[in-house]
């Protein structure tokens, strides 16, 4: 893995404070040590979407900051990175630059937003409250690959269908993935209709067509690719994280009954392509450097093949990011009840790491491009209450959940909103938040 994604620098200084007061509040998800990127405009306006950086409860409008001359006093690499970030309505141009350029811009932003910055007066006019903004997908996504990196999820789901042999023979050797649908990926706040499709009951002679009855969520981390690689040129583990711009949250909604009928022999298709919801903010790997943690394989499991190994893999290969799933039903909203937590897990429990996914994806010569997107697959922990899907939490629909509202859920009902949240936290360090990914299920379209 790249040393640049593991190295601490002055942007990580725990003593740094911002002239934006809300960034200094205890528990703020967007302190000056975070500085995630997103694409926004003022809510309800017809403004062009543009790149911004979250700081406290505000957004620094980067094109406005550039117009105010905020980046003119920095070196050429920083000015080029700032120009790329301000050159359109997506982050692809910035993503196409090098990790050194990303780091230079992050350092400049840190200086601009620190207490006593000489640019405070002009930049204060470049802030937009997050509560007054609306967001879009932060990059033009060319390709999307979804993986299956949680052995706990794979084992629990496998037991539902193969109690004596839940994991297929290849799982511990190769990161499993499939090519997903880009056009239906949307940002937090997505509302989508319950999908229609074919399903077949185990005792039926023929399938039927109609609304999905076993609609589920999947708690995932999304990985945005940066610089990419040339066709035919694999990315070794030592360089893999140089190709990663940052991480976000991903809900890969799943129609389990449609999936059960269609997935053999080629895998998911219509059961996954109707909607995917991501959080609006991309947290850079540099921001997460203090929250790296060890990665290991359970005793008796095979070690990764040499091309999926690296000297720093076991000491700093994983990310200590806490993941949370909440539900708010239509009845809860109407009664003014807050969302209820369904599970709490951690990305450090993934069986395959970010670097391994990038390396494996390219080992055959496949070329990744700036803005490409990878999904981690459902992230479940070892305990039952750490499951990242209803399929696991309800034991395949056999054990309904009773909510605090008195409602029961086996799978999702119309009007349900699922909210994903994530934070990196460690004693003595600021909290690094990802924001949230929220999506709501609408009734299926009429078949008439």
Q: Which helix (H) or strand (E) holds 146?
A: strand 144-147
The closest of 378, 411, 403 to 211, measured between CA atoms, is 411
**Number of structural domains the chain divides into:** 2
Position 288 in a domain: yes
- Are 364 and 430 members of one domain? yes
Tokens (6 digits) for 153: 């999820």
**Domain end among 135, 157, 172:** 135
Query: Given this model, what pLDDT does residue 1 score?
Result: 67
Which of 135, 161, 179 represents a domain boundary (last residue)?
135
Average pLDDT on 417-446 reads 97
The verdict on 193 and 267 lying in the same domain is: yes
- pLDDT (0 to 100) of residue 55: 98
Region 247-268: what's the mean pLDDT?
Answer: 94
Query: Region 18-41: what's the mean pLDDT?
Result: 98
Check whether 161 has a pLDDT greater than 90. Answer: no
- Co-location of 345 and 427 in the same domain: yes
Query: Do 263 and 291 belong together in one domain?
Result: yes
* CA distances in angstroms from 47 to 36, 85, 133, 281, 329, listed in the order given: 21, 17, 11, 19, 33
The closest alpha carbon to 115, from 29, 20, 13, belongs to: 20
Closest to 304 (Cα-Cα) out of 177, 169, 174, 178: 174
Asked whether residue 221 is domain-assigned, the answer is yes
Q: Taking residues 426-448, what's their average pLDDT?
A: 94
Q: Does any domain span residue 253? A: yes
Mean pLDDT for 187-214 is: 96
Q: What share of the chain is helix, strand, coil (3-state, %, to 5)?
A: 25, 25, 50
> What token pair was written down for 186?
């949307």
Residue 271 in this model has a pLDDT that exceeds 90: yes
Q: Are residues 150 and 98 in the same domain?
A: no
Tracing tokens 């002055």 back to the chain, one arrives at 10
From 116, 135, 154, the end of a domain falls on: 135
Residue 246 pLDDT: 98
Q: Is residue 321 part of a domain?
A: yes
Query: pLDDT-based confidence at 163, cuts 50/70/90?
Result: confident
Is the model's pLDDT at 58 over the cut of 90? yes
Q: Are 419 and 436 in contact (CB under 8 A)?
A: yes
> 10 in a domain, yes or no?
yes
Is the pLDDT reported for residue 446 higher than 90? no
Closest alpha carbon to 345 in 323, 363, 329:
323
Which pLDDT does position 5 carry in this prediction?
Answer: 80
pLDDT at 351: 97
Active site residue 153: yes
Alpha carbon distance 306, 300 (integer Å): 18
Average pLDDT, stretch 306-334? 97
The whole-number average pLDDT for the span 381-398 is 96
Q: How confident is the model at residue 448 (pLDDT cuts 50, 70, 90)?
A: low
Tokens of 177: 């993935």
**Secondary element (H or E) of residue 129:** strand 127-129
- Are 270 and 390 within one domain? yes
One domain for residues 159 and 288: yes
Which two three-digit tokens encode residue 382? 């070892």
Whether 410 and 317 map to the same domain: the answer is yes
Residue 7: exposed, middle, or buried by beta-carbon count in 10 A (0-12, 13-18, 19+)?
exposed
Domain for residue 268, yes or no? Answer: yes
Give the pLDDT confidence score for residue 314 in this predicted structure: 94
pLDDT at residue 6, rounded to an integer: 83
CATH number of the structural domain spanning residue 47: 2.30.30.230
Token couple for 283: 């947290």
Q: What does the pLDDT look like over 109-126, one tens digit per residue?
A: 999 999 999 999 999 999
Average pLDDT, stretch 276-301?
97
Angle between helices 99-113 and 76-85 (to 10 degrees): 90
pLDDT more than 70, % of the chain: 99
Per DSSP, the residues of 232-297 read: T----HHHHGGGEEEEEEEE--EEHHHHHHH-TTT--STTTTT-EEE-S-BEETTTTGGGEE----
C-alpha 358 chain-centroid distance: 15
Residue 234 and residue 243 in contact, taking contact as beta carbons nearer than 8 Å: no
**Listed residue (213, 229, 145) closest to 185, CA to CA:** 145
Q: Which of 99, 57, 27, 436 is nearest to 248 (CA)?
A: 436
Same domain assignment for residues 131 and 158: no
pLDDT at residue 92 is higher than 70:
yes
Whether the per-residue pLDDT at 272 is higher than 70: the answer is: yes
Task: Kindly indicate the confidence band of residue 80, based on its pLDDT and cuts at 50, 70 and 90.
Answer: very high
Mean pLDDT of the chain: 96
Q: Which of 153, 179, 360, 361 is catalytic?
A: 153
Structure confidence at residue 4 (pLDDT): 72
CB atoms within 10 A of CB 332: 20
Give the mean model confidence (pLDDT) for residues 132-153. Answer: 97
Residue 447, in any domain of the structure: no
What is the distance, to the nearest Å, from the Cα of residue 308 to the centroid of all Cα atoms in its chain? 22
CB-based contact 108:82 (threshold 8 Å) = yes
Residue 104 within a domain: yes
Do 181 and 128 have their domain in common?
A: no
Q: What is the pTM of this model?
A: 0.97
Q: Quick check: bond before 182 cis, omega within 30?
A: no
Render pLDDT for 321-355 as a digit per residue (tens, 0 to 9).
Answer: 999 999 999 999 999 999 999 999 999 999 999 99
Please report the pLDDT score of residue 3 as a whole number: 63
Verify that 347 and 293 share a domain, yes or no.
yes
Question: Under DSSP, is residue 107 helix (H, G, I), strand (E, B) or coil?
Answer: helix
User: Cα separation of 433 and 319, whole Å?
Assistant: 13
pLDDT of 447 strictly over 90 = no
Give the alpha-carbon dihedral of 270, 273, 275, 276, to 10 degrees: 130
- The residue-averaged pLDDT of 191-215 equals 96
Here the tokens at position 359 are: 């390396």
Judge if 31 and 103 occupy the same domain.
yes
Name the residue range of residue 316's domain: 144-442
Cβ atoms 349, 317 nearer than 8 A: no
- Quote the percentage of the chain above a pLDDT of 90: 93
Q: What's 269's domain CATH number?
A: 3.90.850.10
**Higher per-residue pLDDT: 165 or 251:** 251
For the residues 423-441, what does the mean pLDDT come to? Answer: 97
Is a pLDDT exceeding 90 seen at residue 256?
Answer: yes
| 162 pLDDT higher than 90 | no
């Amino acid at each position: 893995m790249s040393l640049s994604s593991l190295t601490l620098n002055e942007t990580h200084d725990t003593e740094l404070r911002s002239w934006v007061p809300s960034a200094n509040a205890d528990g703020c998800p967007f302190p000056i040590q975070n500085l995630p990127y997103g694409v926004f405009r003022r809510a309800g306006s017809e403004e062009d979407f543009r790149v911004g950086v979250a700081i406290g409860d505000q957004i620094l409008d980067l094109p406005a900051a550039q117009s105010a001359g905020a980046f003119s006093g920095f070196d050429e690499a920083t000015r080029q990175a700032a120009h790329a970030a301000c050159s359109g309505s997506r982050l692809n141009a910035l993503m196409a630059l090098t990790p050194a350029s990303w780091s230079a811009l992050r350092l400049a932003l840190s200086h601009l937003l620190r207490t006593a910055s000489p640019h405070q007066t002009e930049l204060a006019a470049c802030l937009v409250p997050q509560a007054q903004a609306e967001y879009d997908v932060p990059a033009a996504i060319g390709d999307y690959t979804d993986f299956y990196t949680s052995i706990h999820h794979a084992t629990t789901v496998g037991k539902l269908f193969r109690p004596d042999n839940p994991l297929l023979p290849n799982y511990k050797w190769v990161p499993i993935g499939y090519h997903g649908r880009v056009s239906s990926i949307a940002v937090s706040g997505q509302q989508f209709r319950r999908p229609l499709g074919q399903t077949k009951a185990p005792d039926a002679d023929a399938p039927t067509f109609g609304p999905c009855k076993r609609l589920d969520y999947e708690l995932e981390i999304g990985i945005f690719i940066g610089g990419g690689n040339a066709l035919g040129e694999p990315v070794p583990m030592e360089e893999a994280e140089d190709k990663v711009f940052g991480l976000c949250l991903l809900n890969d909604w799943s129609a389990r009954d449609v999936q059960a009928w269609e997935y053999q022999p080629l895998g998911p298709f219509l059961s996954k392509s109707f909607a995917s919801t991501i959080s609006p903010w991309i947290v850079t790997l540099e921001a997460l450097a203090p929250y790296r943690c060890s990665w290991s394989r359970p005793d008796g499991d095979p070690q990764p093949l040499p091309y999926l190994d690296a000297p720093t893999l076991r000491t700093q290969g994983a990310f200590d990011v806490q993941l949370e799933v909440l539900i708010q039903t239509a009845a809860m909203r109407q009664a003014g009840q807050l969302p209820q937590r369904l599970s709490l897990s951690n990305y450090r429990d993934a069986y395959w790491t970010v670097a391994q996914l990038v390396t494996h994806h390219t080992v055959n010569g496949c070329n990744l491009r700036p803005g490409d997107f990878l999904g981690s697959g459902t992230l479940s922990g070892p305990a039952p209450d750490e499951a990242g899907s209803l399929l696991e939490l309800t034991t395949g629909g056999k054990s309904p959940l009773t909510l605090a509202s008195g409602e029961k859920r086996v799978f999702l009902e119309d009007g349900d909103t699922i909210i994903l949240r994530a934070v990196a936290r460690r004693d003595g360090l600021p909290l690094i938040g990802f924001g949230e990914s929220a999506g709501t299920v609408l009734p299926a379209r009429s078949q008439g």
